Amino acid sequence: MKIVGIDLATQAHNSGICVLEGNSVEFVGRGMGNLNHPGWMLQYCSNDVDFVAIDVPFGWPKPFVEALIGYEISMAFVDPGQRYQLRETDLWVRDALPRHLSRSGGPNPLSVSTDRIGATAMVGTVLLHALADRGFSLLPSTGNRSRAAVEVYPAASLWVWHLPHKGYKKKEGEHKRREILCGLKRLFDLRIRRCHERRLVAHDHCLDALIAALTAQQYANCNTFDPEGMEECTLKVEGWIRVPKGPPIGERDA
């Protein structure tokens, strides 16, 4: 099984990509400033790729989208607040996920409609459109695990796997990235060349891309939470974050 993990940002040099085949990390890299962004990532999403996992919101809150249809100055939002700020999947990660796992202190997703991550989501629409043209399914599925692109949230995956999920970004987080990588190697029995290890420790974007790929592996092995009880019309607009159910399941265990 071949999986591509992507940590998407508005700029190529802040985006990371990782190619995972089985338990072997085959490629780790990030973009350059002069690249066509996000088009440069498509060269890694070839016909032999089974899944693409992307750390980016796939959509916006449905009430927010509906409120903007036909909007003109002087029109007021009805009861402005959380319903316009967070998707149902964001609320699920924040509120329901800790209950499912009987733990506290879980991750808190950003608002795609009111935070800077909205700019990244706009770039994501270009990438998702191109992936759909290449035959990747984008709609959250509770059954078929065939060729698909899935939304992931690395901090949530790390939290589920009992690894540090805060404070590992930028230069000051290098020691935590090293700790995370050691944990991932142990949990997934990963094979990683030394040059790739250096990039994973040096750049949080690359590490997030690896975590994304590993989360998609768990999706393929039916070890992520499904969007149960959500209406299809909401899923088509908002998407669904794939979060592991618990400890990793390997391909031989699935």
The reported pLDDT for the residue numbered 51 is 97
The strand pairing partners of 28, in sequence order, are: 18
| Structural domain total, the chain | 1
Contact 217, 189 (CB under 8 A): no
Residue 12 lies in a domain: yes
Residue 145 lies in a domain: yes
Which residue has 């020691």 as its token pair?
175
**What are the pLDDT tens digits along the chain (254 aa)?**
999 999 999 999 999 999 999 999 999 999 998 789 999 999 999 999 999 999 999 999 999 999 999 888 988 888 777 789 999 999 999 999 999 999 999 999 999 999 999 999 999 999 999 999 999 999 877 666 789 999 999 999 999 999 999 999 998 999 999 999 999 999 999 999 999 999 999 999 999 999 999 999 999 999 999 998 889 999 999 999 999 999 998 754 54
The reported pLDDT for the residue numbered 252 is 43
Residue 111 lies in a domain: yes
pTM: 0.95
The reported pLDDT for the residue numbered 131 is 97
Strands 24-30 and 16-21: antiparallel
What are 89's two structure tokens? Answer: 């999947």
Spatial strand order of the sheet with 51-55 comes to 191-192, 24-30, 16-21, 2-7, 51-55, 148-152, 241-242
The reported pLDDT for the residue numbered 206 is 98
Residue 218 lies in a domain: yes
The strand pairing partners of 81, in sequence order, are: none
Whole-angstrom distance, CA of residue 171 vs CA of residue 179? 14
Residue 112 lies in a domain: yes
Residue 118 lies in a domain: yes
Separate counts of helices (H) and strands (E) for the chain: 10, 7
Best CA proximity match to 120, nearest among 7, 237, 209, 39: 7
Residue 189 lies in a domain: no
Residue 253 lies in a domain: no
The reported pLDDT for the residue numbered 253 is 52
Contact 53, 216 (CB under 8 A): yes
The phi, psi pair for 205, rounded to 5°, reads: -65, -40
Q: Round to the nearest angstrom and report the end-to-end CA distance of the chain.
A: 13
The phi, psi pair for 3, rounded to 5°, reads: -130, 140
What are 174's two structure tokens? Answer: 């290098």
Which domain range does residue 142 map to?
2-69+83-153+209-242
The reported pLDDT for the residue numbered 144 is 64
The 3-state DSSP class for residue 55 equals strand
The reported pLDDT for the residue numbered 143 is 63
